[in-house]
């Protein structure tokens, strides 16, 4: 790895959140900067919701190249962007801002890209998986929006299940309407919902199961959460966006049944690649060295 170096010409970016102390993005991006020998820095930026617009404009004025955006600012980032990519427009949220030389702000949603890229890195043929059956997403928050949008793009039928059924129904309707607005000449998306107390019984019909909630997260409200997967087809792929712990009780239960599993850490790493390229001008890869470095950082927390 190259020696860390920063000068007055440094390329600058960061992550905006509230709070932001939990974010691994500074560790990851600064690792990549040092590895590529780039004169730059990536910093955590704690910004309260009522100061978001002022903070973004200030970063832009200070010469930053852009920023990642995390909870609770993704919808505000969507609103402040002058232009957004199609997947962000459908999802209605943005996690990556790029400040262009003409003063405009471009927004994109890379969470779904990171999720799909992680599946592919784990050796899963996503297109073939989409032909085997629907994807069942647990949860109806921002992560579910982004992941569902990317899965629809890959040809999946998408089903939502959420403890509050109204949120799942609302999200399915919103994404359906957004998809039709953006692709009026294309095929309509296939979106539906299942009641929270019924989805385990219908796993035999699913090709992909995705936990987009905080269930199973270390330090969360239900760290021991593990659903009953006994009705799952042996071809089901079980994935989790939680990455602390790296193998959640849900994934452990799936692995013990012989199911293919995919953890959340890879999604975190892959979703960072487009932003790094846009701000710092270098392609990156999520290789063994990168994963080992981030795992070591996690173990120190």
The tokens for 57 are: 């404009």
Phi, psi of 157 (to 5 degrees): -80, 135
DSSP states along 244-299? SSSS-HHHHHHHHTT-EEE-SHHHHHHHTHHHHHHHH-------HHHHHHHHHHHH
Contact residues for 4 (Cβ-Cβ < 8 A; gap 6+) = 30, 33, 34
Query: Residue 197: which residues within 8 A CB-CB, separation 6 or more?
Result: none
Q: Annotated catalytic, 74?
A: yes
CA 72, 91, 228 angle in degrees (round to 5)?
80
Element (H, E) at 70: none
Closest residue by Cα to residue 145 from 184, 121, 178, 118: 178
Q: Give CA torsion, residues 91, 20, 288, 251, to 10 deg.
A: -70
Residue 116 DSSP label: H
Q: Which of 11, 57, 74, 252 is catalytic?
A: 74
**For residue 36, cis peptide bond before it (omega within 30 degrees of 0):** no
The set of catalytic residues is 74
């Amino acid at each position: 790895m190259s020696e860390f170096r920063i000068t007055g010409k440094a390329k600058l970016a960061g992550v905006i959140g509230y709070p932001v102390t939990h974010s691994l993005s500074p560790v990851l991006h600064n690792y990549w900067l040092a590895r590529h020998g780039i004169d730059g820095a990536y910093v955590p930026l704690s910004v309260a919701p009522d100061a978001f617009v002022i903070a973004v404009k200030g970063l832009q004025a200070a010469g930053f190249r852009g920023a990642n955006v995390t909870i609770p600012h993704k919808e505000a980032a969507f609103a402040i962007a002058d232009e957004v990519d199609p997947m962000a427009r459908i999802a209605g949220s943005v996690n990556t801002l790029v400040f262009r030389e003409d003063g405009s702000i471009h927004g994109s949603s890379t969470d779904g890209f990171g999720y799909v890229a992680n599946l592919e890195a784990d050796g899963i043929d996503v297109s073939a998986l989409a032909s085997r059956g629907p994807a069942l997403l647990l949860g109806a928050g921002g992560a579910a929006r982004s992941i569902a949008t990317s899965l629809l793009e890959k040809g999946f039928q998408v089903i939502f299940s959420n403890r509050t059924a109204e949120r799942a129904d609302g999200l399915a309707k919103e994404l359906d309407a957004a998809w039709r607005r953006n692709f009026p000449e294309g095929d309509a998306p296939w979106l539906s919902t299942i009641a929270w107390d019924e989805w385990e019984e219908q796993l035999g019909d699913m090709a992909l199961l995705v936990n987009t909630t905080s269930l199973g997260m270390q330090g969360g409200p239900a760290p021991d959460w593990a659903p009953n997967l006994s009705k799952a087809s042996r071809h089901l792929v079980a994935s989790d966006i939680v990455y602390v712990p790296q193998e959640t009780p849900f994934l452990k239960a799936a692995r013990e049944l012989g199911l293919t599993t995919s953890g959340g850490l890879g999604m975190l790493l892959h979703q960072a690649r487009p932003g790094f390229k846009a701000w710092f001008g270098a392609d990156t890869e999520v290789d063994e060295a990168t994963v080992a470095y981030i795992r070591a950082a996690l173990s120190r927390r």
